[in-house]
Structure 1
Protein backbone atom coordinates (compact mmCIF):
# COMPACT_ATOMS: atom_id res chain seq x y z
CA UNK A 1 0.00 0.00 0.00
CA UNK A 2 1.21 3.48 -0.75
CA UNK A 3 2.47 5.93 1.84
CA UNK A 4 -0.69 7.97 1.27
CA UNK A 5 -2.85 5.12 2.41
CA UNK A 6 -6.42 5.49 1.22
CA UNK A 7 -5.84 8.68 -0.77
CA UNK A 8 -7.95 7.32 -3.62
CA UNK A 9 -10.80 6.22 -1.32
CA UNK A 10 -13.40 8.55 0.16
CA UNK A 11 -13.35 8.99 3.93
CA UNK A 12 -16.70 7.24 4.30
CA UNK A 13 -15.23 4.14 2.65
CA UNK A 14 -12.25 4.07 5.01
CA UNK A 15 -14.55 4.60 7.97
CA UNK A 16 -16.81 1.77 6.83
CA UNK A 17 -13.73 -0.42 6.74
CA UNK A 18 -12.82 0.76 10.24
CA UNK A 19 -16.29 -0.36 11.37
CA UNK A 20 -15.36 -3.88 10.26
CA UNK A 21 -12.23 -3.79 12.39
CA UNK A 22 -14.19 -2.32 15.29
CA UNK A 23 -16.66 -5.21 15.04
CA UNK A 24 -13.73 -7.61 15.45
CA UNK A 25 -12.24 -5.65 18.34
CA UNK A 26 -15.49 -5.36 20.29
CA UNK A 27 -16.94 -8.76 19.37
CA UNK A 28 -13.82 -10.75 20.12
CA UNK A 29 -12.93 -8.48 23.02
CA UNK A 30 -16.14 -9.32 24.82
CA UNK A 31 -16.19 -13.00 23.89
CA UNK A 32 -12.55 -14.08 24.04
CA UNK A 33 -10.57 -11.78 26.31
CA UNK A 34 -12.44 -12.50 29.56
CA UNK A 35 -11.34 -16.14 29.27
CA UNK A 36 -7.78 -15.21 28.35
CA UNK A 37 -7.45 -12.72 31.21
CA UNK A 38 -8.98 -15.17 33.69
CA UNK A 39 -6.55 -17.84 32.42
CA UNK A 40 -9.32 -20.28 31.73
CA UNK A 41 -7.98 -23.54 33.20
CA UNK A 42 -10.84 -25.61 31.78
CA UNK A 43 -9.83 -25.25 28.14
CA UNK A 44 -8.81 -28.34 26.26
CA UNK A 45 -5.70 -27.98 24.12
CA UNK A 46 -7.40 -26.95 20.87
CA UNK A 47 -9.91 -24.70 22.63
CA UNK A 48 -6.97 -22.83 24.16
CA UNK A 49 -5.31 -22.56 20.75
CA UNK A 50 -8.48 -21.18 19.17
CA UNK A 51 -9.10 -18.67 21.96
CA UNK A 52 -5.53 -17.38 21.85
CA UNK A 53 -5.62 -17.09 18.04
CA UNK A 54 -8.87 -15.14 18.24
CA UNK A 55 -7.35 -12.94 20.93
CA UNK A 56 -4.41 -12.18 18.64
CA UNK A 57 -6.84 -11.44 15.81
CA UNK A 58 -8.64 -8.89 18.00
CA UNK A 59 -5.36 -7.20 18.95
CA UNK A 60 -4.31 -6.93 15.31
CA UNK A 61 -7.74 -5.54 14.43
CA UNK A 62 -6.89 -2.56 16.64
CA UNK A 63 -4.16 -1.75 14.10
CA UNK A 64 -6.85 -1.86 11.42
CA UNK A 65 -8.55 1.10 13.05
CA UNK A 66 -5.45 3.20 12.32
CA UNK A 67 -4.33 1.51 9.09
CA UNK A 68 -7.49 0.11 7.48
CA UNK A 69 -5.92 -0.71 4.11
CA UNK A 70 -2.66 -2.16 5.38
CA UNK A 71 -4.59 -4.58 7.59
CA UNK A 72 -6.91 -5.83 4.83
CA UNK A 73 -5.31 -9.30 4.88
CA UNK A 74 -6.64 -9.63 8.43
CA UNK A 75 -10.24 -9.22 7.22
CA UNK A 76 -9.52 -11.58 4.34
CA UNK A 77 -8.25 -14.16 6.84
CA UNK A 78 -11.48 -13.73 8.81
CA UNK A 79 -13.54 -14.35 5.67
CA UNK A 80 -11.43 -17.35 4.66
CA UNK A 81 -11.47 -19.27 7.94
CA UNK A 82 -15.16 -18.70 8.51
CA UNK A 83 -16.08 -19.69 4.95
CA UNK A 84 -13.99 -22.85 5.23
CA UNK A 85 -15.52 -23.74 8.61
CA UNK A 86 -19.04 -23.15 7.34
CA UNK A 87 -18.36 -25.27 4.25
CA UNK A 88 -16.59 -28.24 5.84
CA UNK A 89 -18.13 -28.37 9.32
CA UNK A 90 -21.48 -26.59 9.52
CA UNK A 91 -22.91 -27.36 6.08
CA UNK A 92 -22.36 -31.14 6.21
CA UNK A 93 -23.88 -31.32 9.70
CA UNK A 94 -26.85 -29.18 8.70
CA UNK A 95 -27.50 -31.05 5.45
CA UNK A 96 -27.39 -34.45 7.18
CA UNK A 97 -29.62 -33.32 10.07
CA UNK A 98 -26.82 -33.64 12.67
CA UNK A 99 -26.63 -29.97 13.68
CA UNK A 100 -26.30 -29.64 17.46
CA UNK A 101 -26.78 -26.47 19.53
CA UNK A 102 -23.07 -25.63 19.78
CA UNK A 103 -22.50 -26.01 16.05
CA UNK A 104 -25.62 -23.95 15.30
CA UNK A 105 -24.48 -21.15 17.62
CA UNK A 106 -21.03 -21.10 16.04
CA UNK A 107 -22.56 -21.14 12.55
CA UNK A 108 -24.69 -18.10 13.36
CA UNK A 109 -21.64 -16.30 14.74
CA UNK A 110 -19.66 -17.20 11.61
CA UNK A 111 -22.45 -15.98 9.35
CA UNK A 112 -21.66 -12.46 10.53
CA UNK A 113 -18.78 -12.75 8.08
CA UNK A 114 -21.14 -11.47 5.37
CA UNK A 115 -20.37 -7.98 6.66
CA UNK A 116 -16.70 -8.10 5.69
CA UNK A 117 -17.03 -8.61 1.92
CA UNK A 118 -19.33 -5.58 1.91
CA UNK A 119 -16.86 -3.25 3.66
CA UNK A 120 -13.71 -4.41 1.84
CA UNK A 121 -12.75 -2.21 -1.15
CA UNK A 122 -12.15 -5.09 -3.55
CA UNK A 123 -10.66 -2.90 -6.32
CA UNK A 124 -7.93 -1.84 -3.90
CA UNK A 125 -7.34 -5.48 -2.92
CA UNK A 126 -7.11 -6.53 -6.56
CA UNK A 127 -4.85 -3.63 -7.50
CA UNK A 128 -2.46 -3.92 -4.56
CA UNK A 129 -2.40 -7.59 -3.58
CA UNK A 130 -3.20 -9.50 -6.77
CA UNK A 131 -2.28 -7.29 -9.73
CA UNK A 132 0.39 -5.08 -8.20
CA UNK A 133 4.06 -5.97 -8.14
CA UNK A 134 5.18 -8.39 -5.46
CA UNK A 135 8.14 -7.90 -3.15
CA UNK A 136 11.50 -8.87 -4.60
CA UNK A 137 12.83 -12.34 -3.78
CA UNK A 138 16.51 -11.34 -3.51
Structure 2
Protein backbone atom coordinates (compact mmCIF):
# COMPACT_ATOMS: atom_id res chain seq x y z
CA UNK A 1 0.00 0.00 0.00
CA UNK A 2 1.32 3.41 -0.95
CA UNK A 3 1.45 6.05 1.77
CA UNK A 4 0.41 9.51 0.63
CA UNK A 5 1.52 12.66 2.32
CA UNK A 6 -1.11 14.89 3.83
CA UNK A 7 -0.06 18.09 2.09
CA UNK A 8 -2.81 20.56 1.57
CA UNK A 9 -3.69 21.26 -2.01
CA UNK A 10 -3.29 24.91 -2.86
CA UNK A 11 -4.88 26.74 -5.68
CA UNK A 12 -2.46 28.49 -8.03
CA UNK A 13 -1.19 31.78 -6.68
CA UNK A 14 -3.24 34.75 -7.68
CA UNK A 15 -1.11 37.16 -9.70
CA UNK A 16 -0.31 40.29 -7.72
CA UNK A 17 -1.47 43.60 -9.04
CA UNK A 18 1.60 45.55 -10.18
CA UNK A 19 2.59 48.25 -7.72
CA UNK A 20 2.88 51.71 -9.27
CA UNK A 21 6.34 53.21 -9.22
CA UNK A 22 6.75 56.08 -6.74
CA UNK A 23 8.46 58.17 -9.46
CA UNK A 24 5.10 58.27 -11.25
CA UNK A 25 6.16 56.99 -14.64
CA UNK A 26 3.66 54.62 -16.21
CA UNK A 27 5.68 51.43 -15.59
CA UNK A 28 5.12 49.36 -12.43
CA UNK A 29 7.80 49.66 -9.73
CA UNK A 30 9.56 46.36 -10.54
CA UNK A 31 9.99 47.36 -14.21
CA UNK A 32 10.80 51.01 -13.47
CA UNK A 33 12.95 52.14 -10.52
CA UNK A 34 12.72 48.78 -8.75
CA UNK A 35 14.92 47.12 -11.37
CA UNK A 36 17.74 49.50 -10.42
CA UNK A 37 17.10 48.95 -6.71
CA UNK A 38 17.27 45.18 -7.22
CA UNK A 39 20.58 45.44 -9.13
CA UNK A 40 19.34 44.65 -12.65
CA UNK A 41 21.51 47.40 -14.11
CA UNK A 42 22.39 51.01 -13.53
CA UNK A 43 20.27 54.04 -14.36
CA UNK A 44 21.22 55.10 -17.92
CA UNK A 45 20.69 58.85 -17.44
CA UNK A 46 20.92 61.41 -14.64
CA UNK A 47 17.13 61.79 -14.75
CA UNK A 48 16.59 58.04 -14.42
CA UNK A 49 18.93 58.03 -11.42
CA UNK A 50 17.04 60.99 -9.90
CA UNK A 51 13.78 59.07 -10.24
CA UNK A 52 15.33 55.91 -8.79
CA UNK A 53 16.79 57.85 -5.85
CA UNK A 54 13.41 59.50 -5.14
CA UNK A 55 11.81 56.05 -5.19
CA UNK A 56 14.57 54.80 -2.86
CA UNK A 57 13.70 57.59 -0.41
CA UNK A 58 10.06 56.52 -0.58
CA UNK A 59 11.10 52.87 0.02
CA UNK A 60 13.73 53.91 2.62
CA UNK A 61 16.35 51.95 0.68
CA UNK A 62 19.51 53.25 2.35
CA UNK A 63 21.84 50.81 0.54
CA UNK A 64 20.72 52.05 -2.89
CA UNK A 65 20.97 55.71 -1.88
CA UNK A 66 24.48 55.33 -0.47
CA UNK A 67 25.57 53.21 -3.44
CA UNK A 68 24.50 55.91 -5.89
CA UNK A 69 26.04 58.81 -3.96
CA UNK A 70 29.37 60.23 -5.15
CA UNK A 71 32.19 58.94 -2.89
CA UNK A 72 33.46 62.45 -2.15
CA UNK A 73 30.06 63.72 -0.88
CA UNK A 74 28.50 60.48 0.45
CA UNK A 75 27.41 60.60 4.09
CA UNK A 76 28.08 57.71 6.45
CA UNK A 77 24.35 56.96 6.63
CA UNK A 78 20.95 58.24 5.55
CA UNK A 79 18.67 59.50 8.29
CA UNK A 80 15.06 58.91 7.31
CA UNK A 81 12.38 60.96 9.00
CA UNK A 82 9.86 58.36 10.22
CA UNK A 83 7.00 60.87 9.84
CA UNK A 84 7.90 61.82 6.25
CA UNK A 85 5.41 60.67 3.63
CA UNK A 86 6.52 61.39 0.07
CA UNK A 87 3.59 61.98 -2.26
CA UNK A 88 4.97 62.83 -5.69
CA UNK A 89 7.84 63.74 -7.96
CA UNK A 90 7.85 66.31 -10.74
CA UNK A 91 10.88 66.70 -13.01
CA UNK A 92 11.06 70.39 -13.95
CA UNK A 93 14.25 70.52 -16.04
CA UNK A 94 17.25 68.45 -17.08
CA UNK A 95 20.57 69.56 -18.49
CA UNK A 96 23.01 67.09 -20.04
CA UNK A 97 23.06 63.79 -18.12
CA UNK A 98 22.61 61.47 -21.12
CA UNK A 99 24.78 58.61 -22.37
CA UNK A 100 26.91 61.23 -24.15
CA UNK A 101 27.71 63.33 -21.07
CA UNK A 102 29.89 62.98 -17.99
CA UNK A 103 27.85 65.43 -15.88
CA UNK A 104 24.25 66.50 -15.67
CA UNK A 105 21.70 68.36 -13.60
CA UNK A 106 18.09 67.59 -12.77
CA UNK A 107 15.74 70.18 -11.30
CA UNK A 108 12.77 68.64 -9.53
CA UNK A 109 10.04 69.14 -7.00
CA UNK A 110 9.41 66.30 -4.56
CA UNK A 111 6.17 66.65 -2.66
CA UNK A 112 5.52 65.34 0.80
CA UNK A 113 2.58 65.58 3.13
CA UNK A 114 2.61 69.22 4.23
CA UNK A 115 5.03 70.67 1.67
CA UNK A 116 7.57 70.14 -1.06
CA UNK A 117 11.30 70.12 -1.72
CA UNK A 118 12.55 72.02 -4.79
CA UNK A 119 16.14 71.17 -5.73
CA UNK A 120 18.63 71.30 -8.59
CA UNK A 121 20.75 68.16 -8.24
CA UNK A 122 24.16 67.59 -9.80
CA UNK A 123 25.23 64.20 -11.12
CA UNK A 124 28.51 62.80 -12.44
CA UNK A 125 29.66 59.53 -13.86
CA UNK A 126 31.99 57.41 -11.73
CA UNK A 127 33.36 54.28 -13.44
CA UNK A 128 30.67 54.70 -16.08
CA UNK A 129 27.71 54.86 -13.66
CA UNK A 130 25.69 57.95 -12.77
CA UNK A 131 25.96 59.09 -9.16
CA UNK A 132 24.42 61.93 -7.18
CA UNK A 133 26.96 64.63 -6.20
CA UNK A 134 24.97 67.30 -4.38
CA UNK A 135 22.01 69.62 -4.69
CA UNK A 136 21.02 73.24 -4.37
CA UNK A 137 17.71 74.02 -2.70
CA UNK A 138 15.56 76.41 -4.71
CA UNK A 139 12.67 78.53 -3.51
Q: TM-score range by the shorter chain?
A: under 0.3
TM-score (norm 1): 0.28
TM-score (norm 2): 0.27
Judging by fraction of residues, say which structure has more strand.
Answer: 2
Who wins on radius of gyration, i.e. which is larger?
Answer: 2
Of structures 1 and 2, the one with the larger relative CO (CA 8 A, separation 6+) is 1
Judging by fraction of residues, say which structure has more helix.
Answer: 1
